[in-house]
Amino acid sequence: MSQSMAAKHAIWPRKKDIIFNLSERAQRAEKNIGRENVINATIGALMDDYGRLITMETVYNEYKSIQNNDIAAYASLAGQPEYIEAVKKACFKEYMPEGHIRVVASPGGSGAIKLAVCNYTNPGDQILTSDWFWSPYVIISEEVGRKIDTYQLFDSSNNFNFESFKNKFLEISDKQERIFTIINTPAHNPTGYSVSDDEWDKILDLSKDVAKNKDKKIILFVDVAYIDFATKENSRAFFKKFSNLPENILVIVGFSMSKGFTAYGMRMGAAIGITSCENVAEEFHYSCVHSCRANWSNCNRGAMTLLSNIMKDSEKYKEYNEDKDRYKKMLSVRAKTFVEESEKIGLDILPYRDGFFVSIPCENPMEVCEELTKDNLYLVPLKMGLRFAVCAVSESKCKIAPRIIKNALEYIESKKVIGEK
Amino acid sequence: MSQSMAAKHAIWPRKKDIIFNLSERAQRAEKNIGRENVINATIGALMDDYGRLITMETVYNEYKSIQNNDIAAYASLAGQPEYIEAVKKACFKEYMPEGHIRVVASPGGSGAIKLAVCNYTNPGDQILTSDWFWSPYVIISEEVGRKIDTYQLFDSSNNFNFESFKNKFLEISDKQERIFTIINTPAHNPTGYSVSDDEWDKILDLSKDVAKNKDKKIILFVDVAYIDFATKENSRAFFKKFSNLPENILVIVGFSMSKGFTAYGMRMGAAIGITSCENVAEEFHYSCVHSCRANWSNCNRGAMTLLSNIMKDSEKYKEYNEDKDRYKKMLSVRAKTFVEESEKIGLDILPYRDGFFVSIPCENPMEVCEELTKDNLYLVPLKMGLRFAVCAVSESKCKIAPRIIKNALEYIESKKVIGEK
């Protein structure tokens, strides 16, 4: 047997990243047969119609103008004070909840999830999220010995399945002290769903009901990575609902600069704790800061300065918003095209509201995905279907993709029927 | 009792960072009585004679010229391929050890320590380092339920205390499967000591001796954060000694861009695994990449590009080296001044070789530190003495500081004697 040195808990199956792999294959195809003949819907970032990464000019002009020493110096562990204020403004806008709020800087949204999971669950705990979910939730949880359990996001009529949420939530609250739930909204990755205000009311009413048992600790982690691409006028209104909750409900919002500022590679985000109890807020600060020091120390200073500079200058903020709105509109048009075409030709997709992705439920996603590569369409197989990145595909390609996908699904289905005969 | 929400393991004493606090007081003093009248030796970064953070021009000119999309895009989890090559070159120079080498990107040197500790020790394990040590080693270890144990770095004649190292190393190897040792060299923080080549031979001979028991797993974590400020001609020669070690000895080098590239705030480093066994190398890659995804996802793309660009262009690399050597020389002059003056006036300091800090052993470091603030001299109290940051203090202040420190020590001593009477 070969020598092994890693601790047992550190040994995982040696898998190559499937998204990265498909993305590479798509790029190879583009080189071989021309970009215009390939649909690369694997990439989770805004790309222009020519397949180039979009970088907002207002963001990068500002970034390039930052003084060297404001990039070079170490930042405070919890984040620079100006950044902390900027995060609150950028995240909540006019919907800042009432209560005690603490912000701790993190490397992207991922770091915020890490902080929350480690400090607010116990080893062995089950963490609740929807059955359509961003797979790193599992990796973050399993690394520290926590497990992901899921509720059904949609019922058979493709509406938010509150019954399933409620059952799972109560099941976990029966057996655990802590009920830690991850809700990725608005503009959910991978489905594009956004929890409505009414649905939020139901979730919070249920939480308050369980919170009557003072031995229970309820943590709602709200992953808002894609919030800047939510299209509803008041898509941030739900933040106000986090005001004045019982003391044993803690809301943690996972903020990220990655998408809203086209700053994926800068690794800048924050965990925002919202509570009606000052002690819970202080505890949040100290627990998270300890974890920062123990995991990555401080975060990217230049990226903090960038956000601070944009948020404190109303002229810059206005220009940034114009810049972003242009891309937001581009994204909406693409998504609308994909959704309408799917409806028209009868491709069954999940209810899309906002964001970078549309999901198509199917059986054997890996097989369908492989089949689609023959048509030079590349997307990402999930456990229960396919993820199509409208953020990375031009309008004209969004128009033709549903038909290609439907044909592949039908072909696989027909093969299966023949095989069964 | 106030409401608490954090898990038990996540609740730590609520301490303010003492370095940060003293640094703030020093800055306030500078404002009140003028910079020229204050000695601020708290800061662990290169400062010019006017107390301004040094940012290498060659580094920041290159950084500002990077294309937006090379800052904006997500990097690979393990780091961009070019960065991986650049790290090897920047770290080892002409002393690359033979064997299987894997590089995994991390947020600064802290992230590299995190990766190593979590994946190569078990909960409850003792980790060995010297009694003079960088305190975040404790925070990183305690966060995941590991403990730091220490050997005496120096014997009574102020030489490297190999006997103490050996005894502790064997003690731990008797009771644990894993012997994980952190050696911060060259230019140790906080003492400025550098392990000599002969001492390395002894450490490695001992490791090989223990490694004859194939059930033992020996991990040497070498924290080289300050290596670019080591002054000896062949200060990297020890890397060659990591070639062809037994398969159950794994060397992990913690690399950081923070000091050598004045890029503290960029949070860019790497864990470098060196082993004679290919399986151990592959396992290192996969274990660390899982942890990356689970802790911070990928790292700062722009910082990776920066290092890659400098290392692959011999002209840029030459200019960068000239830039750096200037500051290295400045640092040497300051340190030499401090050390020589200490000798001259009889201030007892630890054996300084290289780096940002000099340490002064003493009793009641907190009290001495407070006493020194009355003379407008600010430094950092450690458990066993004081840390004076020559990296941050001008030559002329390095000249007068030893006398001020000696006076304070004598004053505290005299008060104690009177008190005892």
Q: What is the DSSP string of A235-251?
A: TTGGGGGGTT--TTEEE
Tell me how far apart the alpha carbons of residues A162 and A153 are, in angstroms, rounded to a whole number. 8
User: What does the alpha-carbon distance between residue A245 and residue A276 come to, in Å, rounded to a whole number?
Assistant: 6
Q: What is the pLDDT of residue A421?
A: 61
* CB within 8 Å: A73 and B53: yes
Pair (A224, A354) in one structural domain: no
Q: Do B71 and A63 touch (CB under 8 A)?
A: yes
Read off the tokens for B173.
């190897």
Chain B interface mutation, best of A9, A71, A120, highest count of B Cβ atoms under 10 Å = A71
Number of A/B CB contacts below 8 angstroms equals 252
Tokens of B262: 């004045």
List phi, psi (to 5°) of B172: -70, -40
Q: Is residue B347 part of a domain?
A: yes
Give the CA count within 13 Å in the CB-facing half-sphere of B354: 21
Mean pLDDT across A385-409: 98
Q: Is the bond preceding B81 in cis, omega lying within 30 degrees of 0?
A: no
| Number of residues that make up chain A | 421
**SS3 per-residue string spanning B269-295:** EEEEEEECCHHHHHHHHHHHHHHHHHH
Beta-bridge mates of residue B388: B358
Q: CA of B338 to nearest chain A CA: how many angstroms apart?
A: 25
Please tell me the least confidently modeled range out of A147-161, A318-332, B10-24, B184-198.
Answer: B10-24
Residues B116-121 have a mean pLDDT of 98
Same domain, B333 and B274: no
A128-132: list long-range contacts, CB under 8 Å, 24+ apart. A128/A168, A128/A169, A128/A172, A128/A179, A128/A180, A128/A181, A128/A182, A129/A181, A129/A182, A129/A183, A129/A184, A130/A165, A130/A183, A130/A184, A130/A188, A131/A384, A132/A188, A132/A190, A132/A191, A132/A350, A132/A359, A132/A382, A132/A384, A132/A385
The domain that contains B14 carries what CATH number? Answer: 3.90.1150.10
The mean pLDDT value for B127-140 works out to 97
Q: Do residue B396 and residue B257 come from a single domain?
A: no
B76-118: pLDDT as tens digits: 999 999 999 999 999 999 999 999 999 999 999 999 999 999 9
Nearest to B5 among A122, A264, A280 (CB): A280
Query: What predicted TM-score, i.e. pTM, was given to this entire model?
Result: 0.97
Q: What span, in angstroms and rounded, lies between the C-alpha atoms of B293 and A96?
A: 31
By CA distance, what is A52's nearest residue in B?
Answer: B69
When the pLDDT of each residue in chain B is averaged and rounded to a whole number, the result is 96
* CA separation for the pair B35, A275 (Å, rounded): 42
Residues A276 and A336 in one domain: no
Cβ-Cβ contacts under 8 Å, A301 against chain B = 264-266
Residues 6 or more apart whose Cβ sits within 8 Å of residue B375: B404, B407, B408
The pair of structure tokens assigned to B156 is: 């009574």
Q: Are residue B291 and residue B373 in the same domain, yes or no?
A: no
pLDDT at B350: 98
pLDDT (tens digit per residue) in B314-359: 999 999 999 999 999 999 999 999 999 999 999 999 999 999 999 9
* Cβ <8 Å between A297 and B120: no
DSSP track, A52-70: PBP--HHHHHHHHTS-THH
d(CA B408, CA B410): 5
Instruction: Decide if pLDDT at A399 tops 80.
Output: yes
Residues A293 and A344 in one domain: no
For A101, phi then psi, to 5°, come to -120, 130
Residues facing B360 on adjacent strands:
B386
Instruction: Decide which of A281, A312, A343 is a domain's last residue.
Output: A312
> Do B18 and B125 belong to one domain?
no
Taking each continuous run of H as one helix and of E as one strand, the counts in chain A are 13, 12
Question: Residues B237-267, buried b or exposed e (16+ Cβ, 10 A)?
Answer: ebbebbeebbbbbbbbbbbbbbbbbbbbbbb
Q: Look at A8-17, B282-291, B324-333 and tell me which has the smallest mean pLDDT.
A: A8-17
Assess if residue A164 is contained within a domain.
Answer: yes
B1 within domain boundaries: no
Q: Is residue A377 within 8 Å of residue A254, measured between CB atoms? A: no
Residue B7 to chain A, least CA–CA distance (Å): 5
What is the C-alpha separation between A234 and A354, in angstroms, rounded? 13
Residue B2, domain member (yes or no): no
Pairwise CB contact (< 8 Å): B219 & A140: no
Give B-chain residues touching A76 at CB under 8 angstroms: 20
> Which of B288, B312, B336 is the last residue before a domain boundary?
B312
Pick from A60, A121, A143: CB nearest B7: A121
B286 to A77: CB separation less than 8 angstroms, yes or no = no
- ipTM for the predicted complex comes to 0.96
User: Chain B residues with CB inside 8 Å of A3's CB?
Assistant: 247-248, 277, 279-280
| Model confidence at B75: pLDDT above 80 | yes
Contact B182, B219 (CB under 8 A): no
For tokens 């409208």, name the residue: A390
Confidence of residue A415 (pLDDT cuts 50, 70, 90): confident
Question: Using the beta-carbon criterion (under 8 Å), do A248 and B5 form an inter-chain contact?
Answer: yes
CB contact under 8 A, A267 and B267: yes
Contacts of A55 in chain B (CB under 8 A): 68-69, 71-72
Query: Looking at the predicted structure, is the pLDDT value of residue A420 above 80?
Result: no
Ordered alpha helix ranges (H), B364-420: 365-374, 395-420
Among the partner residues A10, A122, A275, nearest to B7 by beta-carbon distance = A122
Six token digits for residue A310:
């944009």
Residue A86: the pLDDT is: 98
**DSSP collapsed to 3 states, B213-250:** CCCCEEEEEEECCCHHHCCCCCCCHHHHHHCCCCCCEE
CB atoms within 10 A of CB B14: 12
- What is the rounded average pLDDT for all residues in chain A? 96
Per-residue model confidence as pLDDT tens digits over A279-304: 999 999 999 999 999 999 999 999 99
| Chain A residues lying within 8 Å of B11, measured CB to CB | 283, 286-287
Domain presence at residue A67: no
Find chain B residues with C-beta within 8 A of A144's C-beta. Answer: 294
pLDDT at A9 exceeding the cut of 90:
yes
Q: Which residues on chain A are in Cβ contact (under 8 Å) with B143? A: 290-291, 294-295
Residue with token string 């066993």: B384
Which residue, among A4, A5, A288, would best test binding to B if mutated, counting the most B CBs under 10 Å from its CB? A5
Strand partners, B387: B359, B380
Interface residue of B5, B42, B207 to substitute, partner A, most A CBs within 10 Å? B5
How far does B300 lie from chain A, in Å, by closest CA? 5
Q: What is the pLDDT of residue B421?
A: 61
Here the tokens at position B359 are 């340490």
Of A45, A277, A299, the CB nearest to B267: A299
Residue pLDDT, tens place only, A219-277: 999 999 999 999 988 999 999 999 999 999 999 999 999 999 999 999 999 999 999 99
pLDDT tops 80 at residue A1: no
Among residues B312, B342, B357, which one ends one of the domains?
B312
Q: Are residues B290 and B350 in the same domain?
A: no
Instruction: Look at residue A102 in the predicted model and tell me its pLDDT.
Output: 98
In chain A, the number of structural domains is: 2
**Distance between CA atoms of A87 and A92, rounded to whole angstroms?**
8
Has residue A310 got a pLDDT over 70? yes
Predicted confidence (pLDDT) per residue in B245-284, tens digit: 999 999 999 999 999 999 999 999 999 999 999 999 999 9
Instruction: State the amino acid at position B249 in one-letter form.
Output: I
User: Within 13 Å of residue A421, how many CA atoms lie on the same side as its CB?
Assistant: 6
Report d(CA A159, CA A144) in Å as an integer.
33
- Which of B2, B114, B283 is nearest residue A11 as measured by Cβ atoms? B283
Phi first, then psi: give them for residue B2, nearest 5 degrees.
-70, 155
Task: Specify the residue for token string 């090989």.
Answer: B208
- A49: Cα within 13 Å, side-chain hemisphere: 8
**Which tens digits make up the pLDDT trace of A314-326?**
999 999 999 999 9
Mark yes or no for CB contact B3/A280 under 8 Å: yes
CA distance A217 to A277: 13
Query: Residue B384 is part of which domain span?
Result: 9-54+324-420
Looking at the structure, tell me whether residues B361 and B258 fall in a common domain.
Answer: no
B127 and B212 share one domain: yes
| Domain at B214, CATH number | 3.40.640.10
How confident is residue B420, by pLDDT bands cut at 50, 70 and 90? low
B18: pLDDT strictly greater than 80: no
Residues of B in contact with A17 (CB under 8 A): 77
CA distances from B87 to A150, A359, A406, B7 (A): 41, 39, 47, 38
Q: Could you list the beta-strand ranges (E) of A65-196.
A: 100-106, 126-130, 147-151, 178-184
Residue B1 has pLDDT above 70, yes or no: no
Q: Answer whether residue B367 is part of any domain.
A: yes
Is the per-residue pLDDT at B298 higher than 90?
yes
Contact predicate A70/A305, CB 8 Å? yes
Give the minimum alpha-carbon distance from A303 to chain B in angstroms, rounded to a whole number: 9
pLDDT band at B185 (very low <50, low <70, confident <90, very high): very high
Q: Can you list the pairs that B96-99 forms with residues at least 24 positions away whose Cβ atoms lie under 8 Å?
A: B96/B239, B96/B240, B97/B239, B97/B240, B97/B241, B97/B242, B97/B243, B97/B251, B97/B274, B98/B243, B98/B244, B99/B242, B99/B243, B99/B244, B99/B245, B99/B274, B99/B275, B99/B276, B99/B281
Residue A144 inside a domain? The answer is yes
User: Smallest CA–CA separation between B60 and chain A, in Å?
Assistant: 7
Spell out which residues of chain B touch residue A47, defining contact as CB-CB under 8 Å.
none
Cβ–Cβ gap B297/A144 under 8 Å? no
B267 CB neighbours in chain A (<8 A) are 107, 267, 296-300
A112 in a structural domain: yes
A23 with A40: CB under 8 angstroms?
A: yes
For the cut 90, the answer to whether the pLDDT of residue A17 exceeds it is no
pLDDT at B224 over 80: yes
Which residues in A lie closer than 8 A to residue B119 (C-beta atoms)? 6-7, 10
Other C-beta atoms closer than 10 Å to the C-beta of A29 total 19
Our CA-based measurement puts residue A35 at a distance from the nearest CA of chain B, in whole angstroms, of 19
Tens digit of pLDDT for each residue in A20-78? 788 889 999 999 999 999 999 999 999 999 999 999 999 999 999 999 999 999 999 99
Instruction: Fill in the DSSP letter of residue A290.
Output: H
Residue A320: how many CB atoms within 10 A of its CB?
Answer: 21
Is the same domain home to B280 and B146? Answer: yes
User: Could you tell me if A33 and A95 lie in one domain?
Assistant: no
Is the CB of A293 less than 8 angstroms away from the CB of B121?
A: no
Query: What does the block give as tokens for A5?
Result: 């040195």
> Residue A132: which of A182, A166, A83, A58 has the closest Cα?
A182
pLDDT given at position A4: 97
CA end-to-end span of chain B: 46
**Which residues lie closer than 8 Å to B322 by C-beta, 6 or more apart?**
B58
